[in-house]
Protein backbone atom coordinates (compact mmCIF):
# COMPACT_ATOMS: atom_id res chain seq x y z
CA UNK A 1 0.00 0.00 0.00
CA UNK A 2 1.55 3.30 -1.04
CA UNK A 3 1.07 6.58 0.77
CA UNK A 4 2.38 8.75 3.53
CA UNK A 5 2.60 7.83 7.20
CA UNK A 6 1.18 9.99 9.97
CA UNK A 7 1.91 8.34 13.30
CA UNK A 8 0.50 4.82 13.05
CA UNK A 9 -1.87 5.73 10.20
CA UNK A 10 -0.95 5.30 6.55
CA UNK A 11 -2.67 7.59 4.03
CA UNK A 12 -3.24 6.99 0.36
CA UNK A 13 -4.63 9.44 -2.24
CA UNK A 14 -7.96 8.31 -3.73
CA UNK A 15 -9.56 9.53 -6.92
CA UNK A 16 -6.92 12.05 -7.88
CA UNK A 17 -7.00 12.73 -11.61
CA UNK A 18 -4.14 14.21 -13.60
CA UNK A 19 -4.70 17.85 -14.60
CA UNK A 20 -2.97 19.61 -17.48
CA UNK A 21 -3.31 22.99 -19.15
CA UNK A 22 -3.82 23.45 -22.88
CA UNK A 23 -2.80 26.60 -24.71
CA UNK A 24 -4.00 27.16 -28.26
CA UNK A 25 -0.81 28.35 -29.92
CA UNK A 26 -1.05 27.72 -33.67
CA UNK A 27 -3.99 27.77 -36.07
CA UNK A 28 -5.14 24.20 -36.56
CA UNK A 29 -4.64 23.22 -32.90
CA UNK A 30 -7.50 20.90 -31.89
CA UNK A 31 -8.63 19.53 -28.56
CA UNK A 32 -11.45 17.03 -28.17
CA UNK A 33 -13.10 15.67 -25.05
CA UNK A 34 -16.10 15.60 -22.72
CA UNK A 35 -17.23 19.08 -21.61
CA UNK A 36 -17.05 19.38 -17.81
CA UNK A 37 -17.93 23.07 -17.49
CA UNK A 38 -15.97 25.99 -16.16
CA UNK A 39 -13.89 26.70 -13.09
CA UNK A 40 -12.37 29.89 -11.74
CA UNK A 41 -8.63 30.17 -12.26
CA UNK A 42 -6.01 32.66 -11.22
CA UNK A 43 -6.69 34.88 -14.26
CA UNK A 44 -10.41 34.27 -14.84
CA UNK A 45 -12.59 31.45 -16.11
CA UNK A 46 -11.12 28.19 -17.35
CA UNK A 47 -12.87 25.65 -19.53
CA UNK A 48 -12.56 22.02 -18.44
CA UNK A 49 -12.53 18.95 -20.68
CA UNK A 50 -12.13 15.29 -19.80
CA UNK A 51 -9.62 13.98 -22.34
CA UNK A 52 -8.92 10.25 -22.02
CA UNK A 53 -9.58 10.30 -18.26
CA UNK A 54 -7.50 13.42 -17.52
CA UNK A 55 -8.77 16.92 -16.81
CA UNK A 56 -7.54 19.47 -19.34
CA UNK A 57 -8.00 23.16 -18.50
CA UNK A 58 -7.79 26.08 -20.91
CA UNK A 59 -8.45 29.80 -20.72
CA UNK A 60 -12.08 30.51 -21.55
CA UNK A 61 -11.45 33.55 -23.72
CA UNK A 62 -14.29 35.54 -25.27
CA UNK A 63 -14.03 33.38 -28.41
CA UNK A 64 -14.84 30.28 -26.35
CA UNK A 65 -17.72 31.61 -24.22
CA UNK A 66 -20.25 29.76 -26.41
CA UNK A 67 -19.08 26.61 -24.60
CA UNK A 68 -21.10 27.78 -21.59
CA UNK A 69 -24.23 26.88 -23.62
CA UNK A 70 -23.09 23.28 -24.12
CA UNK A 71 -24.69 20.70 -21.84
CA UNK A 72 -22.31 19.10 -19.33
CA UNK A 73 -21.17 15.65 -20.45
CA UNK A 74 -21.34 16.48 -24.17
CA UNK A 75 -18.42 15.47 -26.39
CA UNK A 76 -16.92 18.60 -28.00
CA UNK A 77 -14.12 19.46 -30.41
CA UNK A 78 -12.48 22.90 -30.30
CA UNK A 79 -10.36 24.06 -33.24
CA UNK A 80 -8.24 27.22 -33.23
CA UNK A 81 -9.01 28.44 -36.75
CA UNK A 82 -6.97 31.61 -37.16
CA UNK A 83 -5.79 34.89 -35.71
CA UNK A 84 -7.94 37.99 -36.34
CA UNK A 85 -7.63 41.72 -35.62
CA UNK A 86 -10.17 43.77 -33.70
CA UNK A 87 -11.12 47.27 -34.80
CA UNK A 88 -8.67 48.62 -32.23
CA UNK A 89 -5.87 46.50 -33.70
CA UNK A 90 -5.68 43.83 -30.99
CA UNK A 91 -5.03 40.25 -32.08
CA UNK A 92 -7.45 37.53 -30.96
CA UNK A 93 -8.12 33.88 -31.74
CA UNK A 94 -11.08 32.61 -33.75
CA UNK A 95 -12.36 29.15 -32.80
CA UNK A 96 -14.76 26.59 -34.19
CA UNK A 97 -16.70 24.73 -31.48
CA UNK A 98 -18.44 21.49 -32.47
CA UNK A 99 -20.49 19.10 -30.37
CA UNK A 100 -21.10 15.44 -31.14
CA UNK A 101 -24.51 14.73 -32.64
Tell me the domains of the chain and their CATH numbers.
16-99 (2.40.50)
Pairing of strands 19-21, 54-59: parallel
pLDDT confidence of residue 98: 97
d(C-alpha 81, C-alpha 86), whole Å: 16
Q: Based on the number of CB atoms within 10 Å of its own CB, is 78 exposed (0-12), middle (13-18) or buried (19 or more)?
A: buried
pLDDT confidence of residue 1: 45
- Enter the pTM of the model: 0.79
71 Cβ neighbours under 8 A, 6+ residues apart: 35
Residues of the chain with pLDDT under 50: 1
> Which of these, 51, 50, 78, lies nearest to 65 by C-alpha position?
78
| Helices (H), ranges, the chain | none
Amino acid sequence: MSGQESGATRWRTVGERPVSYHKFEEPGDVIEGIWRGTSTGKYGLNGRLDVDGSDVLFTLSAGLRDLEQVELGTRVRITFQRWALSKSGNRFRLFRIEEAA
